[in-house]
């Protein structure tokens, strides 16, 4: 059967980063179809005989990796299996070795869902590649009843650790006490060891044998309270965590307040002396207000859109990066730092922004206070069908006053439909609604002159969305 037929019948779709769907529909044949369609899409552009695979800690991930690997073997390709490691660790090693790669992960979405992320030997696939995979006519061979067992190669984990260890001296984090919220993160065995090697005192927090979906853009109230409690108990200078596959950071300050990912990205870019940035439209306007960058290009939400802007920025800038509101940091160019060179890694990474900020002598809250004070908040409605989200946004686009009436305000200068509906109000507050690209969720982002105001905008907007008829 053709790959496109299997894929379309499965109902699995590409989201903001990778193909995502319920575990129940990610059968071995569906995994095989996506895998062979991916190879079919890129094999005329690159020469390779091996494909790298890694997974997150979801209970379904190993079986999906077996299916992908078995399909590759039938196609005449060898497989390097790196086990449970962060997505950027897989991408970094595969790019070093000029191999395509597949990450089995559902990132931050619930455990009953999973996904596949695909990387060319030079980095993430494009939106055009996604279309080609979805429509690939390549024939998919039936998999054997017994899928191959996978032996772990530790070289990707080691290469990723070395990438960052070599940037700093062994006493860089001396005197700092860092909590690592391990939960089920794919990188939990890396972070603690790396921080210790750099001189920090490290405490492991809440390691879990069950998969826990951590969303770095919509931190749960429970996790907010946990951070404050941990700081009060242990006296941490910071707490570090990530989402499930380790490409989105979650960093707290010494007060137990989780940083918004775009402010962490802004701090990192400032400290790396980045010239130009590509960021999604949902990011904090403090980026432009800081006056630190020659050029800031705004994109749709999703790393492929951010990456697509890099070529334009690299024409006039030598130090180019991007980041998302979830904190994932993408390095478009090699950058010198601390007398060393950080090689480009144009995919989301959680470790780089956290380490760059943690290595500074100033407290995190002090560094945040030095930035333009513009506050953002975000949240989501779970189990909100994508069709309903789209109908809602269509209705609001036709009559924005339905939304702005919540605040007794009229739209300001701008209604931005780059990705969803982003409305700037006449007091410069911002409210932004969009359907998630990864799950049936409606997301809301807000920006205001105070955190309380931003939070209230989110609460009002989501309550409005729940109750309006579409």
* Domain CATH number, residue 182: 3.40.120.10
Report the C-alpha gap between 403 and 278 in whole angstroms. Answer: 29
> Has 107 been annotated as catalytic?
yes
**Do 15 and 113 belong to one domain?**
yes
**Do 444 and 394 belong to one domain?**
yes
pLDDT, residue 17, reads 79
pLDDT, residue 410, reads 67
Residues 248/216, Cβ–Cβ less than 8 Å: yes
The answer to whether residue 132 is domain-embedded is yes
pTM over 0.75: yes
**Do 419 and 451 belong to one domain?**
yes
Report the C-alpha gap between 344 and 368 in whole angstroms. Answer: 26
At residue 224, φ and ψ (nearest 5 deg) are -65, -45
Report the C-alpha gap between 404 and 395 in whole angstroms. Answer: 13
Could you list the residue range(s) of the whole structural domain that residue 107 is in? 3-153
The answer to whether residue 282 is domain-embedded is yes
Query: CA of 240: how far to CAs of 125, 248, 304, 330, 378, in Å?
Result: 29, 11, 26, 19, 20
> How many domains does one find in the chain?
3
**Do 275 and 402 belong to one domain?**
no
Q: Please name every residue paired with 323 in a beta bridge, in sequence order, or none if there are none.
A: 329
pLDDT, residue 437, reads 76
At residue 42, φ and ψ (nearest 5 deg) are -110, -15
Judging by DSSP bridges, how do beta strands 335-337 and 177-183 pair with one another? Answer: unpaired
pLDDT, residue 279, reads 97
**Do 129 and 278 belong to one domain?**
no
The answer to whether residue 251 is domain-embedded is yes
End-to-end CA distance of the chain: give it in Å, rounded. Answer: 39
The answer to whether residue 159 is domain-embedded is no
Q: Which of 131, 153, 175 is the last residue of a domain?
A: 153
Among 17, 107, 136, 436, which one carries the catalytic annotation? 107
The answer to whether residue 158 is domain-embedded is no
**Three-state DSSP class for residue 437:** coil
- Among all chains, which residue has been given the structure tokens 């529909």? 25
**Do 264 and 312 belong to one domain?**
yes
Residues 33/8, Cβ–Cβ less than 8 Å: no
The answer to whether residue 357 is domain-embedded is yes
Report the C-alpha gap between 85 and 89 in whole angstroms. Answer: 6
Report the C-alpha gap between 99 and 30 in whole angstroms. Answer: 22
Report the C-alpha gap between 321 and 278 in whole angstroms. Answer: 7
Report the C-alpha gap between 248 and 262 in whole angstroms. Answer: 11
**Do 364 and 384 belong to one domain?**
no
Judging by DSSP bridges, how do beta strands 442-448 and 375-381 pair with one another? Answer: antiparallel
Q: Which of 308, 334, 369 is the last residue of a domain?
A: 369
pLDDT, residue 1, reads 92
**Do 213 and 318 belong to one domain?**
yes
| DSSP character at residue 319 | S
pLDDT, residue 107, reads 87
**Do 216 and 236 belong to one domain?**
yes
pLDDT, residue 466, reads 93
**Do 352 and 216 belong to one domain?**
yes
State both tokens at 335: 């950058």
pLDDT, residue 403, reads 85
* Mean pLDDT (10-residue bins), the chain, 470 residues: 96 89 96 98 96 97 98 97 98 97 91 94 94 97 94 97 94 97 96 97 96 87 96 98 95 96 97 97 94 96 93 95 95 94 96 97 96 90 93 92 78 85 91 87 93 93 91
Q: Which of 124, 153, 182 is the last residue of a domain?
A: 153
**Do 117 and 171 belong to one domain?**
no
**Do 41 and 55 belong to one domain?**
yes
pLDDT, residue 426, reads 85
What CATH number is attached to the domain comprising 442? 3.30.310.50
């Amino acid at each position: 059967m053709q790959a496109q037929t299997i894929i379309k019948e499965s109902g699995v779709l590409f989201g903001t980063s990778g193909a995502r769907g319920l575990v129940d529909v990610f059968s071995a044949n569906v995994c095989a179809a996506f895998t062979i369609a991916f190879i079919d899409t890129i094999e005329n552009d690159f020469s390779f005989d091996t494909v790298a695979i890694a997974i997150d800690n979801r209970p379904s991930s190993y079986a999906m990796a077996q299916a992908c690997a078995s399909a590759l073997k039938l196609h005449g390709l060898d497989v390097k299996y790196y086990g449970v490691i962060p997505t950027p660790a897989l991408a970094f090693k595969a790019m070093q070795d000029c191999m395509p790669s597949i990450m089995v992960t559902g990132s931050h979405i619930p455990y009953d869902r999973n996904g596949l992320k695909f990387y060319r030997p030079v980095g993430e696939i494009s939106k055009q590649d996604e279309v080609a995979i979805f429509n690939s006519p390549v024939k998919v061979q039936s998999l054997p009843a017994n899928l191959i067992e996978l032996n772990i190669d530790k070289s990707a984990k080691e290469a990723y650790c070395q990438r960052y260890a070599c940037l700093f001296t062994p006493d860089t984090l001396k005197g700092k006490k860092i909590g690592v919220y391990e939960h089920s993160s794919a990188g939990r065995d890396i972070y603690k060891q790396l921080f210790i090697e750099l001189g920090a005192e490290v405490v492991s927090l809440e390691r879990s044998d069950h998969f826990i979906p951590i969303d770095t853009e919509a931190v749960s109230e429970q996790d907010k309270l946990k951070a404050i409690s941990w700081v009060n108990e242990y006296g941490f200078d910071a707490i570090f965590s990530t989402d499930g596959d380790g490409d989105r950071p979650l960093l707290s300050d010494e007060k137990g307040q989780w940083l918004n990912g775009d402010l962490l990205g802004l701090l990192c870019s400032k400290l790396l002396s980045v010239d130009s940035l590509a960021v999604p439209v949902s990011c904090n306007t403090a980026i432009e207000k800081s006056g630190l960058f020659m050029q800031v290009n705004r994109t749709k939400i999703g790393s492929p859109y951010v990456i697509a802007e890099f070529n334009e920025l690299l024409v006039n800038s030598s130090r180019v990066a991007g980041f998302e509101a979830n904190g994932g940091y993408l390095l478009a160019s090699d950058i010198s730092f601390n007398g060393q060179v950080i090689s480009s890694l144009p995919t989301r990474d959680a470790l780089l922004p956290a380490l760059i900020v943690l290595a500074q002598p100033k407290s995190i809250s002090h560094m945040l206070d030095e930035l333009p004070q513009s506050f953002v908040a975000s949240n989501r409605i779970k189990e909100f069908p994508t069709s309903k989200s789209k109908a809602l946004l269509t209705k609001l686009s036709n009559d924005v006053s339905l939304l702005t009436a919540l605040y007794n305000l009229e739209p300001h200068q701008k209604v931005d439909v780059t990705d969803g509906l982003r409305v700037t109000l006449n007091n410069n507050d911002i409210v932004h609604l969009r359907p998630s690209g990864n799950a049936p969720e409606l997301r809301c982002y807000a920006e205001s002159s105070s955190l309380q105001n931003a939070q209230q905008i989110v609460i009002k907007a989501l309550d409005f969305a729940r109750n309006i008829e579409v």
